[in-house]
Amino acid sequence: DAMVIQNPRYQVTQFGKPVTLSCSQTLNHNVMYWYQQKSSQAPKLLFHYYDKDFNNEADTPDNFQSRRPNTSFCFLDIRSPGLGDAAMYLCATSRDGLTANVLTFGAGSRLTVL
């Protein structure tokens, strides 16, 4: 089945130690998103790629970076994780241009910062 796959599902890191989360998709969707979700809160958009065009949200800290080397893969880099960055990180995709612009999510990567 076509899907969105996130790795790792669980990541434990130390304060200040860089972390990379990955997302791959077999849907051939042109838009990929990274959301941060803290406990009992709404997912918050960090940034998204429309094809190769990177779109950063105004309030996303510089500590968060992203790369999209090709259509299928997108990475979230957290350069110096702080305790406040502990959260679930959700990758999602959508295909712009279609009438039914469904947002499809991966299972998430839960980050713990010690």
Partner 1 sequence: KQEVTQIPAALSVPEGENLVLNCSFTDSAIYNLQWFRQDPGKGLTSLLLIQSSQREQTSGRLNASLDKSSGRSTLYIAASQPGDSATYLCAVRRSYGQNFVFGPGTRLSVLP
Task: Based on the shown chain and the rule CB under 8 A, indicate whether residue 74 belongs to the binding site for partner 1.
Answer: no
Of 5 and 79, CB closest to partner 1 = 5
Near partner 1 by CB under 8 A: residue from 40, 59, 62, 69: 40
DSSP notation for 4-68: EEEE-SEEEE-TT--EEEEEEESS--SEEEEEEE-TTS--EEEEEEETTEEEE-TT--TTEEEE-
Task: Based on the shown chain and the rule CB under 8 A, indicate whether residue 94 belongs to the binding site for partner 1.
Answer: yes
Task: Based on the shown chain and the rule CB under 8 A, indicate whether residue 23 belongs to the binding site for partner 1.
Answer: no
Distance CA 5, CA 32 (A): 12
Residues forming the site for partner 1 (CB under 8 A): 6, 31, 33, 35, 40-45, 48, 50, 55, 57, 88, 90, 92, 94, 96, 99-108, 110
